[in-house]
Amino acid sequence: MPAIVDNITINNKSLDRRIKLTDDDKELIKWLREEEELSYQKLANKFGVSKRLIIFVCKPETLEACKQKRKERGGSKIYYDKDYNTEKMREHRHYKSELLIKGLIKNNNHGK
């Protein structure tokens, strides 16, 4: 049975820990890449994210091409560690519960 917080969305980007880069970060990355000519790897190290994410920020057409290829393959074929995934989902639910208790997010579903 799903937890109550599974249906609650974190609408505040500063509270959503799944978001690695803010919109300002993305603009800065594009500027650093174009004007300062920093490599993708140096930018990835500077912002603490993967090189692939930096490429997707700088070249959105690459992201769209990857999404299209995934769709053609029949969706995601990622095999993950079930125990690891379960633990991370518990941590995320706990975090969302704390945000709900503190009043930082709202339950708009009211018992649905």
Q: Determine whether 105 is exposed, middle or buried from the number of CB atoms within 10 Å of its CB (0-12, 13-18, 19+).
A: buried
Mean pLDDT of the chain: 89
pTM of the entire structure?
0.69
Structure tokens at 92: 């995320």
Tokens, residue 75: 């969706």
Q: What is the pLDDT of residue 1?
A: 64
Contacts of residue 40, defined as CB under 8 A and 6 or more positions apart, other chains included, come to 33, 51, 54, 55, 58
The predicted-structure confidence for 36-81, as pLDDT tens digits, reads as follows 999 999 999 999 999 999 999 999 999 999 999 988 888 876 777 8
